[in-house]
């Protein structure tokens, strides 16, 4: 079984984001995934009203826990531009289906969008990879591990480290590079 891996190189993230036209639904889906750390099943339920208020608020599908996330300002600007360009109403899904605007795109369609972006730059990419990338990049930018554990609803910090791809090799890099008092 293949396990989703985070993208650990900022250049690859930039390359992924350049696959789709800025302002498109596909581009926004990638940006939303990379900047919220939400599961794709939760992202697809994002509505225009809350998104324009700068939040994602819902009950997580997997855990059934109520969750509220504030969206970062750059993501909010992308959302505003997208909503205006697509002429979306407050009651619409942000990632609406072209077949039926009263429904969101399917998880399968979201997977196709993400996998295609990966294929275009020569990497294997899944929706879950983007969630893990959020965690990996946050960790590398010194976000507290306990906070990431809380965000992901993990039972321990060890689970979170394994989840975001921090391996023994990563730990060894710290001990081999660090020299204190010698």
154 part of the active site: yes
Catalytic choice (20, 27, 32, 39): 39
Question: 105 in helix, strand or coil?
Answer: coil
Contact 54, 70 (CB under 8 A): yes
Catalytic choice (27, 96, 131, 139): 131
62 part of the active site: yes
128 part of the active site: yes
Catalytic choice (128, 132, 136, 139): 128
Catalytic choice (20, 82, 132, 154): 154
Contact 107, 56 (CB under 8 A): no
Catalytic choice (82, 96, 139, 163): 163
Contact 133, 6 (CB under 8 A): yes
Catalytic choice (11, 21, 62, 65): 62
- Catalogue the active-site residues: 39, 62, 128, 131, 154, 163
């Amino acid at each position: 079984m293949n396990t989703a891996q985070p993208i650990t190189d900022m250049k690859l993230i930039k390359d992924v984001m350049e696959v789709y036209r800025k302002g498109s639904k596909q581009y926004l889906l990638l940006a939303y995934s990379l900047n919220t750390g939400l599961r794709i099943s939760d992202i697809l339920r994002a509505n225009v009203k809350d998104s324009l208020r700068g939040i994602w608020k819902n009950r997580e599908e997997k855990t059934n826990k109520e969750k509220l996330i504030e969206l970062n300002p750059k993501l909010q600007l992308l959302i505003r531009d997208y909503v205006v360009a697509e002429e979306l109403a407050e009651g619409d899904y942000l990632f609406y289906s072209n077949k039926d605007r009263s429904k969101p795109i399917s998880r399968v369609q979201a997977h196709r969008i993400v996998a295609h972006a990966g294929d275009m730059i020569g990497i294997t990419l899944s929706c879950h990879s983007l969630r893990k990338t959020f965690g990996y990049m946050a960790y590398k930018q010194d976000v507290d591990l306990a906070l990431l554990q809380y965000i992901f609803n993990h039972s321990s910090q060890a689970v979170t480290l394994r989840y975001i791809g921090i391996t023994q090799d990563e730990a060894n890099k710290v001990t081999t590079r660090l020299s204190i008092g010698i």
